[in-house]
Amino acid sequence: MHKFTIALDWQGGRDAVGDLQLRHSSTPISIPVEMAGPDEGTNPDEMLLGAAATCYIISLAAILEGSGIKATITMTSDGFVEQDRLLTYKKIIHRPRICIEDASKERLVQRIAEKAERTCMISRALRGNVDIALDVKITIKEG
């Protein structure tokens, strides 16, 4: 079993700014402007999206490499939070842009992109609570 530890410091009420200590970095934390907060540093909504996105892109890269496919990947991800009585993280959309050298591998790369989402540890942890969608674009490297 792997253990990960973070440390947090929070001095004050709702509109305070805390500090998050990670293994290799630290960052301020606060409530985002969208939720009428001070919007300093990062926030839980961004961090959840970041965990989902980084897990997905690393899983995608690993599966592509394991399949012998050379690719470059860029990606954006959007997270959607709904406020009814409670705030609820509803949906994440990953938009990987995958550039490959071999056009004959395009369908395989699409299947790998879908597999990476199904097998990513964070996607599996969120499954049943947060809808995760993909908008995959595959291009062929020219030259």
pLDDT tens for the 143 residues of the chain, in order: 999 999 999 999 999 999 999 999 999 999 999 999 999 999 999 999 999 999 999 999 999 999 999 999 999 999 999 988 899 999 999 999 999 999 999 999 999 999 999 999 999 999 999 999 999 999 999 86
Give the pLDDT of residue 48.
97
Give the pLDDT of residue 9.
97
H or E element, residue 48: helix 44-66
Question: What CA–CA distance (Å, rounded) separates 139 from 82?
Answer: 34
Give the pLDDT of residue 66.
97
Residue 125 vs residues 51, 56, 132: alpha-carbon distances, Å: 11, 12, 11
Give the pLDDT of residue 83.
87
Give the pLDDT of residue 84.
86
CB 6 within 8 A of CB 24: no
User: Structure tokens of 51?
Assistant: 């965990």
Residue 97 vs residues 8, 110, 113: alpha-carbon distances, Å: 35, 11, 10
CB 108 within 8 A of CB 69: yes
Give the pLDDT of residue 126.
97
